[in-house]
Amino acid sequence: MDTRNKILSLEDALSRAWLGLVIVAGSFDVLRASLVREIGAIRERTGARTLLAAVLPVENEILPQRGRAELAAALRAIDYVVIADRAALERLAAGLDPLETVSLEAEDRCRTRELREKLHSGRAS
């Protein structure tokens, strides 16, 4: 499957009937193995039948929001992706009644900060 087909518009996401939906919201600006493991653990812990990632805007982004959505869509544990802002995320949560909405924003900021520090110190690997 072309992973770009996993990226839905807000309206398309809201019009679907979801079973066992869990929404994971974050910037997805730095994809590291720890994030992939965390998403898998969320899916397992919540018993999600469908995992929808909401890719949120972020200041000083490394990648544009559309590029981050494409990277998130490439992850096997994520079924669908929506490019969203805070208001759209609230509409999704209210309109879809997910089992759970998990915010990864704090962890994403930490991952981005760590990467920037490594790059500035010359220790990036």
pTM to 2 decimal places: 0.86
Q: Diameter of the chain by CA atoms?
A: 48
Please tell me the distance from the alpha carbon of residue 63 to that of residue 87, in angstroms, as a whole number. 21
Residue 123's pLDDT is: 62
Q: Which CATH superfamily is domain 3-121 in?
A: HUPs (3.40.50.620)
Please tell me the distance from the alpha carbon of residue 85 to that of residue 99, in angstroms, as a whole number. 20
Residue 34's pLDDT is: 85
Number of neighbours of residue 88 by Cβ within 10 angstroms: 16
**Is residue 102 within 8 Å of 25, Cβ to Cβ?**
yes
Taken in order 69, 75, 81, 87, is the CA torsion positive or negative? negative
Residue 68 has pLDDT above 70, yes or no: yes
Query: pLDDT (tens digit, 9 = 90+) per residue, 78-121?
Result: 999 999 999 999 999 999 999 999 999 877 777 777 777 777 78
